Amino acid sequence: MIVRPHQHWFTRLFVWHGSVLEKIYSRLLLNLVLSICVIFFLPWYEALGIKLTMAPFSILGVAIAIFLGFRNSACYARFNEARLLWGQLAITSRSLLREVKSLPAATDDDINYFVNLQVAFCNCLRLTLRKKPIDAVLKSWLREDELAWVMQSHAPCNRILLLMGNWLAKQRAEGVISDVLWRSLDNHLNEYSAIAGGCERIASTPLPFAYTLILHRTVYLFCIMLPFALVTDLHYMTPFLSVFISYTFISLDCLAEELEDPFGTEDNDLALDAICNTIERDLRDMNGESQLPAKMLPNAYYRLS
């Protein structure tokens, strides 16, 4: 995720990192080359008696803009829901630890163990959503036997929730947790489960492929044919206007692709590493630990991973 400070409007015109230009500049270059070729072949093009006017392109452009706007709204809704879920994860983690620390008979070792389970759950969810290996990371917070048991499951986050539930059940059996407090703690675990399920739903259910494919094809066919309609009226200005219009449509199409999967590692995806880092820092601070993990800051390009 790009976390860029406020900039002057003129400076922002030339921002490269965080924009989609890194991905689409080669496509815009092809459009520029095509526009230049159309200018040179204009006499031959006119000799064929074929003439495209801007009227159909104006109607088609409006239609494409409407559908691109709808698709971007749908993709941003997925992004926003994912961010709300991870925000709720941070809130639930703090609330759960606050109640666990209120247990009078819980030892420091017990609390430290439970904090490690919470941190392991957050990072396991992050790595699972990004389809990355989790065993090398989780071994920092789980015991060897627990890690082996968690890795046996196709849903490792659920196994970590079971570990937390087993710990709470043990405290209840020993009389440390009352029935009223048990229900509250169990509700927090249910919130963990709901958050994980919501994230998995977003990650495993993209927008209908046929809808995305129709828009993708229409945008590129529009951009390919556009120079032929512009050249008869604009001549040498054709490359400039064609590239500008193509940039608008292609960039919106590309941005929607990024936002559709908010858990990825691209510039406009959620900064899950930073969110997990913040959750761990908050939990360990609440636990009274003096050695906190270093706060994750944006890199030289204002990017948080």
The pTM is what? 0.90
Q: To the nearest 10°, the Cα dihedral for 225, 226, 231, 235?
A: -140
| CA atoms within 13 Å, Cβ hemisphere of 271 | 16
The answer to whether residues 112 and 287 touch, using CB atoms and an 8 Å cutoff, is yes
- State residue 138's pLDDT score: 94
Angstrom distance (rounded) from CA 268 to CA 22: 13
Q: Which residue pairs, CB below 8 angstroms and at least 24 apart, start in 191-194?
A: 191/88, 191/92, 192/89, 192/92, 192/96, 192/121, 192/161, 192/164, 193/158, 193/161
- Region of 119 (left: φ > 0; alpha: ψ -120 to 50; beta: rest) is alpha
- State residue 177's pLDDT score: 86
Tens place of pLDDT for every residue, the chain, 305 residues? Answer: 777 778 777 787 778 777 888 889 999 999 999 999 988 887 777 677 667 778 888 888 899 999 999 999 999 999 999 999 999 999 999 999 999 998 887 788 989 999 999 999 999 999 999 999 999 999 999 999 999 999 999 999 999 999 999 999 988 888 888 888 999 999 999 999 999 999 999 999 989 999 899 999 999 999 999 998 888 888 889 999 999 999 999 999 999 999 999 999 888 899 999 999 999 999 999 999 988 999 988 877 777 88
Phi, psi of 147 (to 5 degrees): -60, -45
- Type of residue numbered 128: T
Terminal Cα-to-Cα distance of the chain (whole angstroms): 6
Angstrom distance (rounded) from CA 265 to CA 258: 9
